[in-house]
Chains A and B, each alone.
Chain A
């Protein structure tokens, strides 16, 4: 679903965690929460890209709605009462983080993104001390066929930020997903090695937006890969200007 760049629209007043806040009718709960310095964990959401709603870390509770809703896709409404940090949510978020860590092979100590990784900092911030679910230890590859970048599937969280920035902003449509369920995996073009794709412009946007050590520049060693996700708002801004 394409997120249309919209004006905030008419002002709605609502409560987040007991605080009175205001947001535009076209804004999602997450944006309004951030504007008011209320922290909601996210992994797949990036302002300015189409939304995925896949990681489920940003779920919140709303009074009167029995289901949990993703704050990155739900628009604010007048009189809404949102809770972002209940015991139930904390429990679910922790479980989801543990599931992500159990899914692939995250060995931080030898990772290019060690100490510069959004997944890692989320785990630290949410207080994850260990993973209770059995590690699945999948056998996954590293594709280093591209002359500048590489993807290590062992560190991928399937957040699809890379594919969305490549579609929405660069327009190259290089990334997509393949395989069902636990066998889901990011691919370039029609599952060609990245270096042999015809679409990739080597712009590096996907590498910079990737929250983990899955996408990195070649030549970076352990803990050397620092991402620049902040370049996106700048990019969007300059495009609007021109």
Chain B
């Protein structure tokens, strides 16, 4: 594959696209698929043929369009411009939508009700880098990706840049790992690049995505798999690896299917395998399926799992960059980190560094969930105000209820109360208020959520996902969970509360891996901002939000010291 050939494919795709006046893009990513997106796609294809419009209109399946909870979603592009977006499309709506396709001026009455204005903040306030192709290309066809400039960056890196140049560009971009830790990507790459010259090296893409409520990585893999493959190939070139693994959880069947297909296509076109793009660089890519344990997302546990052992973390150092897969230097990055790479190399590190804040560069993809109008997938520049994400893009809290907190970072993160709504969302600011960026889950909670119950839920998650290797996490999380249950059941005393705080401190500071070290965070952050709710359960034996069933009402009035 040479640049000319890539251009030829891109041109042919473009031309075949231009033959059609309208392109109907149906979201067939997991969210919309479960709502019947594939059936809507078939119905649209049939209806277009029935109305004799198949010479003018094409139909294709695309990745996530963002408003996942409103699926199935259908986007229409007319004459090369984004035109309309329909939500909640049922099979009955199909004829009306097809009718509307031609009558550009007078909108079909039936379909109009499903239409979403594209000027809404949900669309207007987002900045798409990672998701730039999402909902535009058909993930099943590599030509579609090539048509939007795909693999040209890899070609550029291989033919015009040295590995050092590539790492330099990534370092300049200021990109930080999107897997949770926020470690500078350029620094990690150069460490692996420098590790014992000549030794075999590996690249691993971490697609374990175990946080409850998170689906960013899955969506990227389902909607734009080649982007991740291209990013990995560039990384392999930069650090001198010839083999790579994508570790995906087995609960993501669609992502796995899409990836398998994408790898096969890329191999066929000579974009993976031996002598990529006619250069001396070779890179083989394999898939590894994980059984879906949260802890296998931790890098050393993931490596153990790829090697075929039980996915348990081991002490670091040595870090994988020094001794990783089969004791060889290994680069391990998150899906979204790799997905940023083609844009960084194409537009340059300086361009990337201009987005975001001083220390947090670029954009971040978030999965909005919980009590929020626009549940779904969004991408915003780092440093965007929390309020703008939740109330403008997210559309606020449904049914006029009151905002209480947003949980970021999943089971390792914390709950952010109302007084911080104006804070910028970046690594440092989130840490300051006791939460973390994590991988990008945002669960919004309103006044009907009990914060003690929320803490109990996350502790239960950590307890059952703990691998059991180290004492504080194995036994500590179980004891903490028991205390939280006691509180929500109304049996706890103030001594229990002290013990909870003491255990939080122990588990955080003595656990072996990040799971245990961050397991107390939901407790600590709810204690910090919602202590009154804990007190209400313990002292007054009531649950202010009315969530917990407190079975034993206080026998006699409890004296509260003022």
Q: Which residues of A contact B (CB under 8 A)?
A: 1, 51-57, 59, 67-68, 70, 73-74, 92, 95-96, 99-100, 102-103, 132-134, 136, 158, 160, 176-177, 179-184
Contacts and interface: CB of A to CB of B under 8 A. Distances in A.
Nearest to A97: B471
Interface string B500-516: 00110010011110000
A133 B479 contact: yes
B424 to A, nearest CB: 25
Contact of B471 (A51, A96, A133, A177): A96
Contacts of A177: 310, 468
A181 B509 contact: no
A158 B506 CA distance: 19
A54 B502 CA distance: 20
Contacts of A57: 471
A102 B315 contact: no
A175 to B, nearest CB: 12
Contacts of B503: 95
A51 B475 contact: no
A1 B317 CA distance: 11
A184 B474 CA distance: 8
14 contacts: A1-B315, A51-B315, A53-B314, A68-B509, A99-B471, A100-B471, A102-B475, A133-B479, A136-B478, A158-B468, A177-B468, A180-B466, A181-B466, A182-B474
Interface string B313-326: 01101000000000
Given A56-B510, A73-B315, A181-B465, A132 B471 contact: no
A179 B479 contact: no
Contacts of B499: 132-133
A180 B471 contact: no
B315 A134 contact: no
Given A53-B314, A92-B506, A134 B479 contact: yes
Given A70-B315, A182-B463, A182-B466, 12 more contacts: A1-B314, A53-B512, A54-B469, A55-B471, A56-B470, A56-B510, A68-B510, A96-B472, A136-B478, A181-B464, A182-B468, A184-B474
Contact of A181 (B314, B317, B468): B468
Contacts of B64: none
Contacts of A92: 506, 509-510
Contacts of A180: 293, 464-468
B471 to A, nearest CB: 5
Contact of A95 (B315, B468, B506, B512): B506
Nearest to B478: A182
Contacts of A59: 510
A182 to B, nearest CB: 4
A211 to B, nearest CB: 13
B476 interface: yes
B93 interface: no
B255 to A, nearest CB: 24
Contacts of B474: 103, 158, 181-182, 184
Contacts of B314: 1, 53
B479 A54 contact: no
Given A70-B315, A99-B475, A133-B499, A55 B467 contact: no
Contacts of A102: 475, 479
A184 B471 CA distance: 11
Contacts of A74: 317
A168 to B, nearest CB: 14
Interface in B236-271: none
B482 interface: yes
B466 A99 contact: no
Interface residues of B, number: 31
Given A53-B512, A177-B310, A95 B465 contact: no
B148 to A, nearest CB: 43
B477 interface: yes
| Main secondary structure on A side of the interface with B | loop
A170 to B, nearest CB: 18
Nearest to B476: A99
Given A59-B510, A134-B482, A53 B502 contact: no
Contact of A96 (B310, B465, B477, B506): B506
Contacts of B475: 99-100, 102-103, 182
B74 to A, nearest CB: 42
Contact of A179 (B468, B476, B478, B511): B468
Interface in B100-119: none
Nearest to A51: B315
Of listed A96, A99, A158, A160, residue having the most chain B CB within 10 A: A99
A55 B470 CA distance: 5
Given A56-B512, A92-B509, A181 B470 contact: no
Interface string B406-432: 000000000000000000000000000
A51 B300 CA distance: 14
A95 B310 CA distance: 28
Interface in B469-503: 469-479, 482, 499, 502-503
Contacts of A54: 469-471, 512
A183 B463 CA distance: 10
Contacts of A52: 469
Nearest to A2: B327
A166 B310 CA distance: 17
In the complex, the 5 A-B pairs of residues with the closest C-beta atoms, listed nearest first: A184-B468, A181-B466, A53-B315, A99-B475, A182-B478
B392 to A, nearest CB: 38
Contacts of A100: 471, 475
Contacts of A160: 469
Contacts of A1: 314-315
Of listed A92, A133, A181, A182, residue having the most chain B CB within 10 A: A181
Contacts of B506: 92, 95-96
Contacts of A53: 314-315, 470, 512
Nearest to B316: A73
B471 A176 contact: no
A105 B28 CA distance: 53
A160 B310 CA distance: 14
A102 B480 CA distance: 13
Contacts of B293: 180
A136 B293 CA distance: 25
Contacts of B477: 181-182
A99 B466 CA distance: 15
Contacts of B310: 176-177
B179 to A, nearest CB: 19
Nearest to A95: B506
A51 B502 CA distance: 28
A56 B506 CA distance: 11
Contacts of B463: 181-182
A69 to B, nearest CB: 8
A114 B135 CA distance: 67
Of listed B465, B474, B475, B482, residue having the most chain A CB within 10 A: B475
Nearest to A93: B510
